[in-house]
Structure 1
């Protein structure tokens, strides 16, 4: 797309700021970075981009280890009290794009109950409060708590574990008061080499506001993994069936 306007190619320094953001915010950032706001409007760029996305999103596949992780968590218990592990989805993708990305992955996404799928255009998220704001994760937690069975105790933010690939999402998770597992693309990991602890504390590129809500570098509430294969459940007090 950028090549059509004699711009680009996209690099990880800007890609890192776009991942996980609401689409309209990401496109505005991209066009400003590419210095083509006077050549193409965000609306026109979005329309043309959607044509490509409609085709490419149908090819989406889960990262290694994701399928087993979700199936394991579906029936997992806490090691300390034997309580059920509850899982929810929190994605910036709007429903239309989410449906395209996942229509061929029904079995994988069936682990998320419909009311525990929080999408980017979910009315439960206040307008303009997408990632890196914490709202989407707090909405997901609230949805879980509202669905708890009789006798189950309300889950607190500090008891939650967020899985993220993008920097804005890590910031959102930390600002929500949750622990975060960061599984970045190799290109993104290279971009932040030497700054991993800063990212895991939620102090990456998107951490210029509400600093007091973020974690402390080295506080142990964030972990970076190369893959979700062989996930260390015991480290997080999770017991899965053999």
Structure 2
């Protein structure tokens, strides 16, 4: 894939990429698993949950650990536990500096997260910087058809459409960077047509599999956003 040296927009996942909320998800899942004598949640399973809409991720977890509960029962316990922990969410290394730089350079930015609006608010209302994003798309946006969550490209397509409408531009997917931490998100970014900056959780590294095959010359793998080289993309 030819990298556009003059990137015109940056689109970001949120959980595990901007915020440490993947660790909070692990903590709340483990509380439920422990209640039924299961777990702990391991990264080989967790990688399959990342980027999925809430119900799909919950049902996959229930199936993976053979939990004797319905999704509704699981979701009720999970939501209550998560709501008490969202105020502890914080930015991951390199995030604030990058977002501040992009804002000062007037580079259009969007958050495209599978989290619904309620969870988004709980995770971010106590944090600065989110008001600097030009567009925010959540997973429950009615413009995203049912069953078209990541790894489908729809959420990125909507984010870019909103950016172009806001700025009266005609930015193309090939002129965008998509920042992701999960494999479904990386696949969705590739399907969208962008160059993908993949920043997985450090504990996920042993379970990533064929990194070169997943990226397919359409992105790069970084240990943290601190390692992102802006100048490589003309930013």
Q: TM-score range by the shorter chain?
A: 0.7 to 0.9
Which consecutive residues of structure 2, in runs of 5 or more, have no partner in the other structure?
A: 1-31
Secondary structure of 1:180 counterpart: strand
Equivalent residue number for residue 12 of structure 2 = none
Q: C-alpha displacement at 1:166, in angstroms?
A: 0.9
Equivalent residue number for residue 29 of structure 2 = none
In 1, the alpha carbon distance for the partners of 2:60 and 2:213 equals 23
Secondary structure of 2:226 counterpart: coil
Correspondence 1:179-218 to 2 at 5 A? 179-192=195-208, 195-200=210-215, 217=216
TM superposition score normalised by structure 2 = 0.83
In 1, the alpha carbon distance for the partners of 2:177 and 2:123 equals 24
1:126 aligns with 2:123: no
In 2, the alpha carbon distance for the partners of 1:189 and 1:236 equals 25
In 1, the alpha carbon distance for the partners of 2:185 and 2:54 equals 14
Equivalent residue number for residue 42 of structure 1 = 71
RMSD value, Cα = 1.2
Seen in structure 2, the aligned counterparts of structure 1 residues 189 and 230 have a Cα distance that, compared at 3 Å, is closer
Task: List per-residue Cα deviations over 1:99-142 (Å, max 9, x = no partner).
Answer: 0000110x2101113xx100011122112211111100000010
Task: List per-residue Cα deviations over 1:69-97 (Å, max 9, x = no partner).
Answer: 01111122xxxxxxx52111100010111
In 2, the alpha carbon distance for the partners of 1:222 and 1:230 equals 14
Q: Which has the higher contact order (CA 8 A, sep 6+)?
A: 2
Q: C-alpha displacement at 1:230, in angstroms?
A: 4.9
In 2, the alpha carbon distance for the partners of 1:69 and 1:119 equals 21
Pair member with larger Rg: 1
Correspondence 1:109-188 to 2 at 5 A? 109-113=130-134, 116-149=135-168, 153-188=169-204
Equivalent residue number for residue 103 of structure 1 = 125
- Equivalent residues, number: 204
Structure 1 residue ranges, 4+ long, deviating more than 3 angstroms after superposition: none
In 2, the alpha carbon distance for the partners of 1:47 and 1:58 equals 19
Q: C-alpha displacement at 1:231, in angstroms?
A: 2.6
Equivalent residue number for residue 73 of structure 1 = 102
Equivalent residue number for residue 85 of structure 2 = 56
Equivalent residue number for residue 9 of structure 1 = 40
Equivalent residue number for residue 209 of structure 1 = none
TM superposition score normalised by structure 1 = 0.81
Which consecutive residues of structure 1, in runs of 5 or more, have no partner in the other structure?
A: 77-83, 201-216
